[in-house]
Amino acid sequence: MKTNLVLKNAAFAATGILMLLSSACKKETNPEVNKVETTTTKRTDALGASGPKSVCYVEVNYADIRNVGNYKLTTGEQLFDIGIIFAANINYNTSTQTAELYFNQQVSNVLTNRNTYIQPLQDRGIKVLLSILGNHQGAGICNFPNQAAAQAFAQQLANAVNTYNLDGIDFDDEYANYGANGTGQPNASSFVYLVTALRQLLPNKIISFYYYGPAASRLSYNGVTVGSKINYSWNAMYGTYSVPSVPGLSAANLGPAAIDIQATSSATAASLATQTVNNNYGIYLTYNLPNNDVHTYLSSFSNNLYGKATVYDTSLGTGVRFFADVNYAGYGTGIIPKGNYTLSQLQKFGFENDWASSIKIPSGWTVTMYANDNFTGQSWTLTSNNTNFVGLSPNANDAVSSIKIQ
């Protein structure tokens, strides 16, 4: 059993979202189970390594989210693909009888100082999500009374993602205390309405579900499944292996293994990693990354996931970054240093074939892009940032397969 840790509260306001009393709580066990399906399938490999995607929750009330980016495999690739800020809250406004998104002081600090805490991770190619859970006030993801209420809260979440340039939202159905303040009990439509609205607002962002609580048995309504709207779901019981029952999500989008870095033994972490690989699941979930160097512990599962140990490296480095969309938007690769890269080598940095639309290049560097693998076909030479490959002659948008960086 995991313990319940109630953390500090703070009162303040921030851009476009009222931020008052809030608390983030440590995760617990005893999930309720059931249904789901996916429309948007993201890459399932770890950044630069063949194997499951590594996901890491960080309790930002006492740990630095940037530490997610300090762990690499011995061959240089990042260990973690996704870092999750744990956690923002759903509060209940008794005057308006509506749910409100709240951040405590520590979460607000990370978000409002995104260039300090979030951008360094994204520069490494790591996706940063914001976890959302209840706050003991009766409001949660499972009791929106109607579609309009769910859509209104989805808009608050989308505003936060867009304001702080996050990569998505993680849902966690804990600590709602359904029924408090006269709120309703969980209903069948709430979570489906919420993720449907959020997917419409954020069509290209990640939406994940921590498989836990009443939401885990309320994943389908009126022919629509949560699984058709989200990207990933993972087991919520640390130190165990249990496949989330989410119809519509393939094995590549599910994480049956979950560990608490500060509580799960290295032997168990290694065993769960082996099961994940042997059963072809695409996610390996970790929680509670501390500020101190724990690369030896992390190697216990990275060796089994990727055949490589983990090292601790705080240097960011300099290099080229490609982006899926124009104006440096959408998915971004990790930092690519000087060298010649075939498609398979580029994929180690999160690059995809015929996919890039913009690029950031360090001052004084030269990048030659090729339409075909192995440095063949049409080529384009760039010596500075380019916001839109459509403007190149000929059009290079979604056409690059190999590169040389000097």
Gap between the Cα atoms of 269 and 304, Å rounded:
9
Token pair recorded at residue 295? 């690369």
β 358-360/321-323 pair status? antiparallel
Query: Which residues are known catalytic residues?
Result: 174
**Which of 383, 365, 351 has the alpha carbon at shortest distance from 318?**
365
Phi, psi of 91 (to 5 degrees): -100, 165
- Cβ atoms of 178 and 186 closer than 8 Å: yes
Gap between the Cα atoms of 186 and 144, Å rounded:
8
- Cβ atoms of 294 and 268 closer than 8 Å: no
Gap between the Cα atoms of 174 and 181, Å rounded:
17
Token pair recorded at residue 236? 């919520």
Q: Report the residue count for the chain.
A: 406
Token pair recorded at residue 151? 């859509």
Task: Report residue 152 CA to chain centroid gap.
Answer: 23
**Which of 231, 7, 237, 204 has the alpha carbon at shortest distance from 104?**
7
Task: Report residue 51 CA to chain centroid gap.
Answer: 17
